[in-house]
Structure 1
Amino acid sequence: MSNHVLLNNVDHKDLKIITDRSAKLGDNVMYAFTFPFEFRNVQAHYPIFFQKDPDSEKYYPVAMLGLQQGENLFLGEHGWDAAYIPVAIERQPFLIGFESADNEAHTVIHVDMDSPRVSEAEGEPVFLEHGGNTAYLNHVAGLLEALYQGDQENSRFVQALVQHDLFESFTLDMELNDGSKNRLAGFYTINEDKLAVLDGATLSTLHKEGHLQAIYMVLASLSHMRDLIMRKNARL
């Protein structure tokens, strides 16, 4: 369950956020949504695939953290075992809301009060003693703004991939060290063969729109599937 409310320095003057990383705090997830603005950092640690929403038929890039639901292979006894945490994970338990004023919609910050990260006893303070924002809240606000802009960038990026028919379904069968046979399915990647035959004008357009670099970041990230399997085997 979740309980999203508008953040304010009166009702939440004593609010603190636990920023440790653990399963009990909700970090045991198989994947995290990601965005082209962070692909350079994400591809250094995680494979990037795409998920297709069955209702809207839209594709969304995701950073793979595990090989099955409820599994994050980057969580250990000492926290998160990677130098970069995807923004969609790091911003929790905050999210963007919208508020209308003067016939215009403005972004505001909401907080999930049912999140296990919310506390008044420990963690990072959200507001200063006299009501101002802490450096932590300013950091969160920056993350949320990046997510808001990144969602729009995602739409343009995915639209370009669909336009040039570059998506293909991805299935990986693997046998782990304990002899168990496993399959990763239900995700999509970029078809390298179709990418290779795009003409120069199309590649130039993709480059000018900022999509070509993102495409190659996605492809480069796939080498980390081997790392995920190694992490899985190490836990067996």
Structure 2
Amino acid sequence: MQLVGLNPHDHGDLSIRSVPRETRRFTEIVASEFAGAAVCCPIFFAKNADTGELYAGALFGFEEGSPLTGGPGDQTEPFVSLDRKRAGFYIATDHIAIDEACPRFSRTEGEPLFQSDGSPAPALRAVQAVLTQLHSGKSETDAFIKAMMDLRLIEPIDVSLSFDDGERLSLQGLYTIGLDGLGELDDATVVSLFRAGHLQLAYTVALSSRQLPVMAARHNSRLSQEAQ
């Protein structure tokens, strides 16, 4: 991937197509997305392969290319991550850079990025807002994860599933927040977490794992339909 700085001189006629549908199994999200993601996705932590540091992510399915966040025939997605909304756009120091090879970009269709006078068009302003949310959300999320780690509330989770056709599935390298650990916190710590905005996030993560059996049922139903 080669990034280039976005500017009206080189990209004045560039447009973007609509946000692509989710195909990834697991996608990084930030704290402000937890509530929206938990409606349909389990939220887990995973280790960055390069740094070993934990990050938060939404689990959209058990396999790449097979999301399980909606029912059969759903035309709208219940949750669209900020990372997907910014597809093709990146922050490079203080500027926006793009991956010109990203299929989202076009010079013949889509919404224009710039007005005729070179100022940002509504589509680009929307992307700028998303990038701002991601940038500010990263530090907020890192602070939340650190607080959970300091209290030893983050624990590994073993996701082992069996399906009617005999398929067995195991997801490795995921972590969650234990409800037992949250329930054992002393009052002073609970108040401190509440005031920092971390308590609600912690419960959102812990309770989001209840989406796992829902997704498993959808996967099981999909296998049954494919077998017919």
1:164 aligns with 151
Q: Which structure carries more strand by proportion?
A: 1
Question: Which of these residues, 89, 92, 105, is aligned with residue 118 of structure 1?
Answer: 105
Question: In the TM superposition, what is the alpha-carbon distance from 1:138 to its structure 2 partner?
Answer: 0.6
Question: In the TM superposition, what is the alpha-carbon distance from 1:20 to its structure 2 partner?
Answer: 4.7
1:45 aligns with 40
> What does 1:122-201 align with in structure 2 at a 5 Å threshold?
122-201=109-188
Structure 1 segments unaligned to the other structure (5+ residues):
99-106
The answer to whether the aligner puts 1:3 opposite 2:2 as a matched pair is yes
Residues 109-160 of structure 1, C-alpha deviations (whole Å, 9 max, x = no match):
1111111111111222111222121111111100000000000101110110
TM-score (norm 2): 0.90
Question: Which of these residues, 10, 22, 28, is aligned with residue 23 of structure 2?
Answer: 28
| Residues in 2 aligned to 1:140 and 1:207: alpha-carbon distance in whole angstroms | 31
> What does 1:58-77 align with in structure 2 at a 5 Å threshold?
58-74=53-69
Secondary structure, aligned partner of 1:10: helix
Q: CA RMSD in A?
A: 2.0
Question: In the TM superposition, what is the alpha-carbon distance from 1:57 to its structure 2 partner?
Answer: 3.0
The size of the alignment, in residue pairs, is: 223
Question: In the TM superposition, what is the alpha-carbon distance from 1:220 to its structure 2 partner?
Answer: 2.3
Given residue 116 of structure 1, which amino acid in structure 2 is its aligned partner?
P
Kept in 2, the 8 Å contact 1:35–1:150? The answer is yes
Q: How high is the sequence identity, in percent, across the aligned residues?
A: 32
Given residue 32 of structure 1, which amino acid in structure 2 is its aligned partner?
T
Question: Which of these residues, 83, 87, 97, is aligned with residue 82 of structure 2?
Answer: 87
2:92 aligns with 97
> What does 1:207-218 align with in structure 2 at a 5 Å threshold?
207-218=194-205
Residues 15-74 of structure 1, C-alpha deviations (whole Å, 9 max, x = no match):
11121534xxxx421111111112111111211000112543311110111113454334
Given residue 91 of structure 2, which amino acid in structure 1 is its aligned partner?
I
Q: More deviation in 224-233 or 142-151?
A: 224-233
Kept in 1, the 8 Å contact 2:19–2:87? The answer is no
Given residue 10 of structure 1, which amino acid in structure 2 is its aligned partner?
H
Distance 1:79 1:11, change over 3 A: farther
Kept in 2, the 8 Å contact 1:45–1:82? The answer is no
TM-score (norm 1): 0.87
Secondary structure, aligned partner of 2:97: strand
